[in-house]
Amino acid sequence: MTQQLKITSCYMSVMEEFLYVLLGIQVVVLGLQIVILYRLILLLKKKEVSFPHDIVIKSIIEDFSSKLTTRDEKIAELMVRLEVLEERLKTSFVKPPTLKTSVDESEVVKVGKRAISTDVTTKILEFLSEKSLTSREIQRMINKSREHTARLLKSLYDQGLVDRDSSKKPFRYIITEKGREILSHMLS
């Protein structure tokens, strides 16, 4: 989906640039036509041609006007196409699936005022009951992101279930007596 979005976005950018280039070309062509018309009028005045100037000028102006009208119609058509593509792009976004945010009551243990999920917390507390670990080691063991692991460890630390040795970096986490009690409650 993101690849299709990138292609559509790239296509729209190219279309916008094409419209600006087309508009620039029209301006240049119109300027050249005006210069040619001016020089033609000067030439006709110098040679004193016997046919009426008004007829020539009117025919040139009509020709330029019809070309300009045609180009304006093409630009308007391209603008409509661009708007249609933009609308398609807006409606083509797929809403992300909703994530399960509720936790089964059997998976929750209350510690003080806070409730903690037992599945990952149990694993972390079991690992820490064997030996002290760094957050990176715990992350690898529970197979979660660095940020998720850091939030879990901070929550456990704030609740007094784990302690951290901050004398060296990276911090090493150890389970507290309160953590051991909760772990034994979870496992029973």
DSSP element (H, E) containing 71: helix 53-91
Determine the pLDDT at residue 106: 43
Contacts of 138 (CB under 8 A, 6+ apart): 124, 127, 128, 149, 153, 173
Residue 99, SS3? coil
Q: 4: which 2 tokens?
A: 């299709």
Q: What is the pLDDT of residues 81-139, one digit of tens each?
A: 777 777 777 666 544 444 444 444 444 455 554 555 567 888 888 889 898 899 899 88
Domain covering 105-187, topology: Arc Repressor Mutant, subunit A (1.10.10)
175 confidence band (pLDDT: 50, 70, 90): very high
162 confidence band (pLDDT: 50, 70, 90): very high
Alpha-carbon dihedral angle through residues 10, 12, 16, 21, given to the nearest 10 degrees:
60
Distance separating alpha carbons of residues 13 and 160, to the nearest angstrom: 55
| Cα-based distances in Å from 70 to 21, 26, 30, 50, 76 | 16, 11, 13, 33, 10
Chain centroid to Cα 75, Å, comes to 29
Count of CB atoms within 10 A of residue 38's CB? Answer: 10
| Cα-based distances in Å from 184 to 7, 67, 74, 125, 128 | 55, 87, 77, 10, 13
**Are 91 and 11 contacting, i.e. CB atoms less than 8 angstroms apart?**
no
Q: Where are the domains of the chain?
A: 2-91, 105-187
Altogether, the residues listed in the chain come to a count of 188
Max Cα distance, the chain (Å): 115
